[in-house]
């Protein structure tokens, strides 16, 4: 039976830093991702794609609030559902164009993700969404719209919203069934639609945006994936990033990665969630995770010393078994 890899694709991979986010720009970026998926398909992998939606959901919120005098603005969890449909369609179209008859098909599953209604993260917004603003623009938005704005990686100010930890994807069984049938599955888009159980046992939407990396780990676990890959804009993880001592890391054990995380090497607003989700997957399954660009996904999954020569991304692997007495 083919092994499964889960690719966690950042929302910024579809709208890059120097782009406005037009449909043509996003589709061109999705085509690049589809070529990477095709290389995995040709090597016998099943693929599940989890994508981010930070830029897209923030842009959609601005569009809704800007037209609220004409039509009612919708809550954040509904915008999450809308961007799942939007980006799921975009990614599936790109996959069908690139892979054609090499695949059974591509299916996008609108995914709900259960969270804990008492998660303290709901009271402390940290997740950046939407475009960047200047300091003065951010102050005007805080005063005029009541948004909470925060500086993001030295690039400007963005709106931040609550980002609770995911518990489980509600559609996990459906995702697994589609994978078993040979489909490429797009699921957990934008971290999924956050829902919590009400006292009557029903699910209710929660105004928040879950980090897609943590949801990707939950989905990878639920589909018994062999690998979890965080697809990002840099070839590999770097230690001492932004300093003259910066250096790439080709491989580290889960324990080494956790020590680097504790030392502050991977900030919460950038590489932190990717590394933490990767560690959790490796520790819970004993399998591998990787962090790299779309172009280097297959090379990074290939065993060191394998058939592929050239650059690779970062692999996070299980700790070695202790030597027997």
CA distance 290 to 278: 7
Q: Six-digit token pair at 130?
A: 């939407």
Catalytic residue among 11, 189, 190, 192: 11
Catalytic residue among 46, 88, 191, 212: 212
Q: Six-digit token pair at 79?
A: 């915008």
HSE-up (13 A, CA, CB side) for residue 223: 38
HSE-up (13 A, CA, CB side) for residue 66: 7
Phi-psi domain of 298 (left: phi exceeds 0; alpha: psi -120 through 50; beta: other)? alpha
Q: Answer for the pair 102, 29: CB distance below 8 angstroms, yes or no.
A: no
Q: Answer for the pair 308, 302: CB distance below 8 angstroms, yes or no.
A: yes
Asked about 96 being catalytic, the answer comes back as no
Catalytic residue among 52, 127, 130, 313: 127
Catalytic residue among 12, 21, 205, 272: 12
Catalytic residue among 46, 190, 274, 313: 274
| DSSP character string of 144-180 | HH---EEE-TTS-EEEEE--PPEEEETTHHHHHHHHH
CA distance 106 to 294: 18
User: Who's near 44: CB < 8 A, 6+ residues apart?
Assistant: 2, 3
| DSSP character string of 29-97 | HHHHHHHHHHHHHHTT-EEEEEE--HHHHHHHHHHHHHTTTTS----HHHHHHHHHHHHHHHHHHHHHH
Q: Answer for the pair 325, 66: CB distance below 8 angstroms, yes or no.
A: no
Asked about 274 being catalytic, the answer comes back as yes
Question: Distance from CA of residue 178 to its chain's centroid?
Answer: 20
CA distance 166 to 168: 6
Active site residues: 11-12, 127, 212, 274
């Amino acid at each position: 039976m083919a092994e499964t890899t889960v690719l966690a694709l950042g929302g910024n991979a579809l709208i890059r830093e120097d782009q406005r986010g037009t449909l043509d720009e996003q589709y061109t970026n999705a085509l690049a991702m589809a070529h990477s998926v095709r290389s995995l398909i040709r090597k016998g992998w099943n693929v599940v794609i989890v994508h981010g939606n930070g830029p897209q959901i923030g842009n959609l919120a601005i569009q809704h609030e800007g037209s609220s005098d004409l039509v009612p603005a919708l809550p954040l969890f509904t915008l999450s559902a809308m961007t799942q449909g939007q980006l799921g369609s975009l990614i599936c179209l790109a996959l069908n164009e690139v892979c054609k008859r090499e695949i059974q098909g591509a299916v996008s599953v609108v995914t709900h993700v259960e969270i804990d209604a008492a998660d303290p993260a709901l009271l402390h917004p940290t997740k950046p969404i939407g475009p960047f603003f200047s300091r003065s623009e951010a102050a005007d938005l805080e005063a005029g719209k009541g948004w909470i704005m925060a500086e993001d990686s030295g690039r400007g100010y963005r709106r931040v919203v609550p980002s609770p930890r995911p518990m489980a994807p509600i559609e996990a069984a459906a995702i697994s069934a589609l994978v078993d049938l040979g489909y490429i599955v797009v699921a957990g888009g934008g971290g999924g639609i956050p829902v919590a159980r009400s006292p009557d046992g029903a699910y209710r939407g929660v105004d928040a945006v879950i980090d897609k990396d943590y949801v990707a780990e939950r989905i990878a676990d639920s589909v018994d994936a062999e690998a979890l890959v965080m697809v990002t804009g840099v070839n590999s993880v770097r230690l001492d990033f932004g300093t003259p001592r910066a250096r790439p890391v080709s491989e580290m054990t889960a324990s080494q990665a956790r020590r680097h995380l504790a030392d502050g090497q991977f900030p919460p607003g950038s590489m932190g969630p990717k590394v933490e989700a990767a560690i959790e997957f490796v520790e819970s399954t004993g399998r591998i995770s990787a962090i790299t660009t779309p172009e280097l996904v297959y090379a990074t999954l290939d065993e060191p010393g394998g058939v592929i020569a050239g650059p690779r991304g970062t692999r996070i692997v299980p700790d070695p078994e202790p030597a027997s007495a």
